[in-house]
A and B are shown apart, each in its own frame.
Chain A
Amino acid sequence: DQQVKQNSPSLSVQEGRISILNCDYTNSMFDYFLWYKKYPAEGPTFLISISSIKDKNEDGRFTVFLNKSAKHLSLHIVPSQPGDSAVYFCAASAGGSQGNLIFGKGTKLSVKP
């Protein structure tokens, strides 16, 4: 049973527009969430995280929103750039920033010039 779900395997967005990547989770014990970005032939790169005590965390063009009641988080990229084209993984932990990570299957983002 998947505890972290990324229901959209792919997303295509025009350069300059907003990219919204979604992630749902089932385990109410999760209290820390992360997004990783992965380019082909490279390992995932940490992007941004959010603790369950917050509902929003922003870092430059990247913002993560957390809706605990809906068990849903999203990653917003504004404005999207062609270099953002990659696979984005959502991950969750039940032990704060030091718990085991459970990953979603990823969403492939394509940003078209």
Chain B
Amino acid sequence: KAGVTQTPRYLIKTRGQQVTLSCSPISGHRSVSWYQQTPGQGLQFLFEYFSETQRNKGNFPGRFSGRQFSNSRSEMNVSTLELGDSALYLCASSLIPKDNEQFFGPGTRLTVL
């Protein structure tokens, strides 16, 4: 079956803009988590969604938000972009919430200029 897909794969934005990233989980997976990966901080947990509800949130400012749709697809939004938001944003899906044997997508590489 198809893996986790993320769109777009690459994105370039300028400071102050906003961006929306999309994630489609593996068919049948209902839990979606988002992570930010940077060289300096490694992989950091952003938030987790299940049944259209945010179940958990990492330590990120309110500029980072997300949502999940009834088909389990998820989007994350970053408003008022800052240079430090440049990172690889990874989405992971699992059958049940907080199942740590998650399946990751290839990521969206965001560059903020």
The interface of chain A, by Cβ under 8 A from chain B, is 32, 34, 36, 41-46, 49, 89, 91, 93, 95, 97-106
How distant is A64 from chain B, measured CB to nearest CB, in Å? 14
- Whether B4 is near chain A, meaning CB under 8 Å from some CB there, is yes
A91 vs B4: C-alpha distance when bound (angstroms): 20
A105 touches B42 (CB 8 A): yes
Contacting residues, chain B, for A89 (C-beta < 8 A): 42-43
A-B contacts, 25 listed (Cβ < 8 Å):
A32-B100, A34-B100, A41-B106, A42-B106, A43-B4, A43-B91, A43-B92, A44-B43, A44-B92, A45-B104, A46-B100, A46-B103, A49-B100, A89-B43, A97-B99, A98-B97, A98-B99, A100-B56, A101-B43, A102-B45, A103-B35, A103-B44, A103-B45, A105-B41, A106-B43
- Whether B13 is near chain A, meaning CB under 8 Å from some CB there, is no
A-B contacts, CB under 8 A, total:
63
B92 touches A103 (CB 8 A): no
**Majority-rule SS of A interface residues:** strand
How distant is B33 from chain A, measured CB to nearest CB, in Å? 8
Known: A43-B92, A49-B101, A95-B98. A106 touches B56 (CB 8 A): no
Contacting residues, chain A, for B105 (C-beta < 8 A): 43
A41 vs B97: C-alpha distance when bound (angstroms): 26
Contacting residues, chain A, for B99 (C-beta < 8 A): 97-98
The interface of chain B, by Cβ under 8 A from chain A, is 4, 35, 41-45, 48, 56, 58, 90-92, 96-107
Contacting residues, chain A, for B44 (C-beta < 8 A): 103
- What is the chain A residue whose CB lies nearest that of B31? A98
B58 touches A100 (CB 8 A): yes
How distant is A49 from chain B, measured CB to nearest CB, in Å? 7
A97 vs B42: C-alpha distance when bound (angstroms): 21
Contacting residues, chain B, for A101 (C-beta < 8 A): 43, 45, 100
Contacting residues, chain B, for A98 (C-beta < 8 A): 96-100
How distant is A23 from chain B, measured CB to nearest CB, in Å? 12
Contacting residues, chain B, for A41 (C-beta < 8 A): 106
How distant is B49 from chain A, measured CB to nearest CB, in Å? 14
